[in-house]
Amino acid sequence: MINLVSKKEKKKFKKDLVFDILFRNIIFLSGVFIILLLFAIFLTLTFNSFPSLKVFGIKFLYGKTWDPVFNEFGALPFLIGTILTSFLALIISIPFSFSISIFLGEYFREGKISSLLKTLIELLAGIPSIIYGFWGLFVFAPVVRYIQIKLGITPYGVGIFTASIILSIMIIPYSASIGREVIELVPSEIKEAAYSLGATRYEVIKKVILPYARSGILSGIILSLGRALGETMAVTMVVGNSNFIPKNIFSPGNTMASVIANEFAEATGDLYLSALIEIGLILFLVTLIINLIGRYVIRKYAVSL
């Protein structure tokens, strides 16, 4: 019998086979690792919030006092602070991000002016949040203080309002880019059909493009809300860091993320630390739910003609 495959080649085949199996296993395991990582994050947070969960239970969510000295922890001031800053930021950002998505997705799809705006928006998105916070504290907060003096409000400078403005600048690029992508997806046939009926561009945008891209724009807004909720440094520096429920939008407050940033390193005592971790757990769950909703909206209502 003629030996078609030499011993050396056989060995090589075997080696290749072993490596193949090894390689497949490695990439499979790294995929499984991601799932385990997320579960580990969730379990770690839950497990370490137990002391606080046991002592305060559901009262943690509506307790108004946050007092490390007497070991009394209620997160309501931070929940309110977070909700106020994020939603205000969202409302302020919507007209701008909406304009940018229409500008880039419909009016100027390509060309110099569009790539200029795109580059500027990308640079805006690239600025680290600490620099937003620093700039906000030293340049923007004095401006707010000046306005507050003119209006006759207690001139804090920093506070919920200042934080919301800085946050809104930070989330504009994010929701604008998602909005642009969806608006670009609107098929030109239906736009042309509207034009051929004599519609102006404004009417096409209002009656054809927006209804078509509605879900995408909505999910962009939802996803940028998730980002606003978790934003830490910029907010921490300009929100005023007061652990009381803000009286109005100009008064100083604190958000969930900023209270962790401020107090975690100095937290003495297990209960104190555990209360901060529980805030982290709430933050984790809230952003998780918001992200899932955002992505659900984009998938579920992804338009198909």
Partner 1 sequence: MKKQIQKRIIKDKLFKIVIILLSFLSTFPLFFILFYLIKNGVFSLNFEFLINLPKPVGEKGGGIANAIVGTFILIIISSFLSIPIGICVGIYLSENKDKNLSKVINYFVDILQGIPSIVLGIIAYLWIVRPMRHFSALSGGVALAIMMLPVIIKSTEETLNLIPQSLKEAAFSLGAPYYKTILSIVLPAGISGITTGILISISRIAGETAPLLFTAFGNPYMNLNIFKPIESLPHLIYNYAKSPYPEWHQKAWAASFILILIVFTLNFISKLVVKRWKVRF
> What residues from 219 to 278 belong to the interface with partner 1 (CB under 8 A)?
223, 226-227, 229-233, 237, 257, 260-261, 264-265, 276-277
> What residues from 92 to 131 belong to the interface with partner 1 (CB under 8 A)?
95-97, 99-100, 102-104, 107, 117, 120-124, 126-131
Least separation in angstroms between residue 258's CB and partner 1 is 9
> Which two tokens mark 141?
């907060």
Least separation in angstroms between residue 2's CB and partner 1 is 20
Residue from 133, 157, 216, 240 binding partner 1 (CB under 8 A):
133
Q: Which is nearer to partner 1, 160 or 170 (CB)?
A: 170
> Which two tokens mark 27?
């990439």
> Which two tokens mark 243?
């652990």
Q: Which is nearer to partner 1, 24 or 247 (CB)?
A: 24
Least separation in angstroms between residue 39's CB and partner 1 is 9
Closest by Cα among 145, 143, 136 to 238: 136
Least separation in angstroms between residue 256's CB and partner 1 is 9
191 lines the binding site for partner 1 (CB under 8 A)? no
According to DSSP, the β-strands at 72-73 and 66-67 are antiparallel
What x/- string results for residues 52 through 91 when contact with partner 1 is judged by CB under 8 A?
A: ----------------------------------------
Structure letter (DSSP) for residue 92:
H
Q: CB neighbours of 49 closer than 8 A, spacing ≥ 6? A: 274, 275, 277, 278, 280, 281
> What residues from 145 to 164 belong to the interface with partner 1 (CB under 8 A)?
none
- Using the rule CB under 8 A, give the single segment among 50-58, 73-81, 147-155, 200-208 that binds partner 1: 200-208
Least separation in angstroms between residue 152's CB and partner 1 is 27
| Cβ contact 86:225 at 8 Å | yes
What x/- string results for residues 8 through 47 when contact with partner 1 is judged by CB under 8 A?
A: --------xx-xx-xxx-xxx-xx-xxx-xx--x--xx--
> Which two tokens mark 291?
């992200």
* 3-class state of residue 211 by DSSP: helix
200 lines the binding site for partner 1 (CB under 8 A)? yes
Rg (CA), the chain: 26
Q: Please identify which residue in the block is written with the tokens 């046939």.
A: 189
Q: Which is nearer to partner 1, 118 or 251 (CB)?
A: 118
How open is the CA angle 92-98-104, to the nearest 5 degrees?
Answer: 140
Q: CB neighbours of 241 closer than 8 A, spacing ≥ 6? A: 252, 254, 258, 259, 262
- Measured in degrees and rounded to the nearest 5, phi and psi for residue 247 equal -75, -40
